[in-house]
Structure 1
Amino acid sequence: MTIRVLLADDQEIVRTGLRTILDAQDGISVVAVASDGGEAVRLARAHRPDVCLLDLRMPVLDGVAATREIAGPGVADPIPVVVITTFDLDEHVHAALRAGARGFLLKDAGPDLLAQAVRAAAAGDALIDPTVTVRLLAHFADSAPRPPAPAEPLTDREEAVLRRVAAGRTNGEVAAELHLSLSTVKTHLGAVLAKTGTRNRVEVARWAIESGLTGS
């Protein structure tokens, strides 16, 4: 099955480069290209791609506002969004995560990581550039309001999984560290998402960091 991608960036050279990279990947196809956030929202609603890849700094609607329109909490049928930026400690990145983005990358992430992020988003998972995952979220943790307590207390195993997800580990890495099967890790993570009221790895990582649950 081909993953259909909408790409939005206000710089033509960047759009061309990203499209070339994505179209060269097996199972990924760019089906729509936008030069501003407003156009990205319109094309997303018209084409219903599997993943939207949005620049954060665009005219008409910036990446945060466009993400909120495409994937925000109030959207009935959200489309997965991955945001891209040249700024690894930009407050707009954090705002995009709050607006519903499933992950983010730096523009110099490279073809492999770009394709991984698109595939992860399409699969209902998330991928954040590992060079900035913890640093960026932790940068805003002190100023962010403390999130509500989980609906039910986390078990020791669930908390162990959560701490590792917040540190940027993949499910496979968590499984190896805790000597669990991949399916068991996914089950624990699903329970954590339900208890914390978060929707994906990005949101639950932010929840953990803002709650002070960091480290292994």
Structure 2
Amino acid sequence: MIRVLLADDQEIVRTGMAMILSAEDDIQVVAQAQDGLQALEQAELHRPDVVLMDIRMPRLDGLDALRHLTRPHAAYRPQVVMVTTFDDEDYLTRAVAAGAAGFILKDSGPRLLAEAVRAAAAGDSLVSPSITVRLLRRLRTAGSAPGTGAAQGTAAPGTAAARPGAPQLSPREREVVVLLADGLTNAEIATALSITVGTVKTHLANVQAKLGARNRVEVAAWAWRNGIAGQGT
């Protein structure tokens, strides 16, 4: 059972998502929060597997709550999916740097919402690839987003390729990263490269270790920032 926390300041949004997810046999909504501080309290109390987090909330916004949940050496780190609209692109670029596991639109249909939760729990997808690829494409020209983790630091994916002695990817790892950055799931990458899903996961684990990336989104961000992804687009 996938345990989910919903964090959004709009009750109608929380209620709608809760109704959709509660209808799924493998998903349980364990708590709801109306602002960032309450989200942190509920996350600590219930230890959900996935947090669906609105970016714009009172008291403590979603970005600050995200940074707290994904902070280095945290004893408990859920997968945090940012819930947004298309006009939040600047916020989402910063969310990549803060460690977001993916993004989903507020008006996503029931099927996509449930799939997003499952994907985040499995570490299997960027979620809403149309949003993610659009944002990461901006990183190619905008440079590193403000924040921590993959965007900055000595082991950061956003800077590693530019330094002498930076970790090098194998040809196969590079192929996997390019497809990942284009929004493909593990299963789709496996099909495209004629390898198993297990092999894809192994390659991605190795890439994350080499780059010091916290999740797939940071790997994709590194690929876009360094011109590995989106060539010819």
Q: Which 10-residue stretch deviates more, 7-16 or 183-192?
A: 183-192
Query: How far did residue 89 of structure 1 move?
Result: 5.1
Amino acid in structure 1 at the alignment position of 2:111:
D
Looking at structure 1, the residues matched to 105 and 176 of structure 2 have their Cα atoms a distance apart, in angstroms, of 26
Structure 2 counterpart of 1:83: 82
Structure 2 counterpart of 1:97: 96
Residue 147 of structure 1 aligns to a residue whose secondary structure is: helix
Structure 2 counterpart of 1:214: 229
Looking at structure 2, the residues matched to 211 and 119 of structure 1 have their Cα atoms a distance apart, in angstroms, of 30
CA contact (8 A) 2:21 2:27 kept: yes
% identical equivalent positions: 53
Residue 5 of structure 2 aligns to a residue whose secondary structure is: strand
TM-score by length of 1: 0.93
Aligned pair partner of 2:160 in 134, 140, 148: 148
TM-score by length of 2: 0.86
Aligned pair partner of 1:172 in 187, 200, 210: 187
Amino acid in structure 2 at the alignment position of 1:62:
D
CA contact (8 A) 2:103 2:132 kept: no
Q: Which 10-residue stretch deviates more, 203-212 or 181-190?
A: 181-190
Looking at structure 2, the residues matched to 172 and 123 of structure 1 have their Cα atoms a distance apart, in angstroms, of 12
Looking at structure 2, the residues matched to 213 and 74 of structure 1 have their Cα atoms a distance apart, in angstroms, of 29
Structure 2 counterpart of 1:48: 47
CA contact (8 A) 2:119 2:127 kept: no
Q: Which 10-residue stretch deviates more, 60-69 or 129-138?
A: 129-138
Query: How far did residue 88 of structure 1 move?
Result: 5.3
CA contact (8 A) 2:56 2:62 kept: yes
Structure 1 counterpart of 2:174: 159
Q: Which 10-residue stretch deviates more, 71-80 or 193-202?
A: 71-80
Amino acid in structure 1 at the alignment position of 2:17:
L
Structure 2 counterpart of 1:63: 62
Runs (4+) of structure 1 moved beyond 6 Å? Answer: none
The unaligned stretches of length 5 or more in structure 1 are none
Residue 112 of structure 1 aligns to a residue whose secondary structure is: helix
Amino acid in structure 2 at the alignment position of 1:159:
R
